[in-house]
Amino acid sequence: MEIGLYSFAENTPDLLNNNHLQSPAERLSDLLEEIRLADEVGLDFYGLGEHHRREFVASAPAVILAAAAAITKRIRLSSAVSVLSSDDPIRVWQNFTTLDLISNGRAEIMAGRGSFIESFPLFGYALDDYDDLFEEKLAELIRIREGGTVDWPGSKHTKPIPGIEIFPQPVHGTLPLWIAVGGTPNSVARAAWYGLPLMLAIIGGRPEQFRPLTELYRATAEKQGHDLARLPIGVSSHGFIAKTRAEALDTAFPAHNMMMTKIGRERGWSPGTRAQFEAGAGRDGAYFIGEPAEIVDKILLQHEWFGHQRFGLQMSVGTLPHKKIMQAIELFGTEVKPAVTKALTGG
């Protein structure tokens, strides 16, 4: 199983450090150190999500990942996600093929519709076209990814490409393209229909309830004649790792609760509580929060449910002290990943 991290480059007051708020430049400096350490401790991938609001500084993930490419050696660098609905597929492809050249073949694209809506008015798109935009632009991106001269007829939301070859070319001729979903069956079926790997975000509720979605994905892909061996499934979740469960909970809760309460207020959710947070960090909950052995057991439990080939952890939903994040990354790479690998491979 591939084990890695993803981030939205959150930049909120550090509740454990006198509410200190970093400058965006300081936050990005810390983020690059975190990615470099993830590479050094042997994690497999780092994903960076596109957002366009005050709390995050990753409005241009490919630029940040290009900086990370220059200071890392082996870790795969991914968007998590590129909000394809409000972007230009040609530019998405060119940005990530350029990243691929800088990183010597380590770039990938993870495309999604996005769980935030700020990019739609920012780039002049209507929310009423939310799903149609993604469907049409994904089809265009897939055609571009096939390579060669691109003849694209255009559609309601895309313009024609009149037989043009698009540059630059990636190192290995193409790039991995994942579809990230939040649990909508139609989105899962779309990924399967196109024969693209699936990244399933599980950030709340009872994860076992997502099992039918992985079954739907495999059944649909098989019906379309796709080779399931070439279609990995990934799972991404919120979490934090420390030497003890108590430390992990105490470190993660204030920032996580602050951020989720703020977002929840915008979406009509009730504020969270410490009891709910701890329940979510339990064996059957969605959060991966605890000491390394607990994280290993939970990854293996979910592997029994989903049979997935990739696991991604978002360690800081709100800003946490940089030192504690670095310690958590080291535990993730040096203790969690080797234990999961040994359990799944016997070696």
pLDDT per residue over 295-322, tens digit each? 999 999 999 999 999 999 999 999 999 9
pLDDT score of 16 more than 90: yes
86-112 per-position pLDDT tens digit: 999 999 999 999 999 999 999 999 999
Taking only the tens place, the pLDDT of each residue in 184-205 is 999 999 999 999 999 999 999 9
- 168 cis-preceded (ω within 30 degrees of 0): yes
Q: Is a pLDDT exceeding 90 seen at residue 84?
A: yes
- Report the alpha-carbon distance of residue 87 to residue 83 in Å, rounded: 7
Task: Confirm if 320 and 252 have CB atoms less than 8 A apart.
Answer: yes
- Banded model confidence at residue 137, pLDDT cuts 50, 70, 90: very high
Question: What is the domain range of residue 29?
Answer: 2-345
Q: What is the mean pLDDT of residues 58-68?
A: 97
pLDDT at 347 over 80: no
Q: Binning pLDDT at 50, 70 and 90, where does residue 267 land?
A: confident
pLDDT on residue 135: 96
| Reported pTM | 0.96
CB hemisphere CA count around 331 (13 angstroms): 23
Give the pLDDT of residue 281: 97
Q: What is the pLDDT of residue 15?
A: 96
What is the enclosing helix (H) or strand (E) of 188? helix 185-194
CATH code, domain with 136: 3.20.20.30
Average pLDDT of the chain, as a whole number: 96
Closest CA to 52 of 117, 130, 112, 109: 117
For the chain, the domain total comes to 1
**59-63, 258-262, 278-282, 328-332: segment of lowest average pLDDT:** 258-262
- The two tokens of residue 89 are 């597929």
Residue 25 corresponds to which amino acid? A
pLDDT at 91: 98
pLDDT digits (tens, 9 = 90+) for 211-258: 999 999 999 999 999 999 999 999 999 999 999 999 999 999 999 999
Is pLDDT above 90 for 269?
Answer: no
Q: Three-state SS for 322?
A: helix
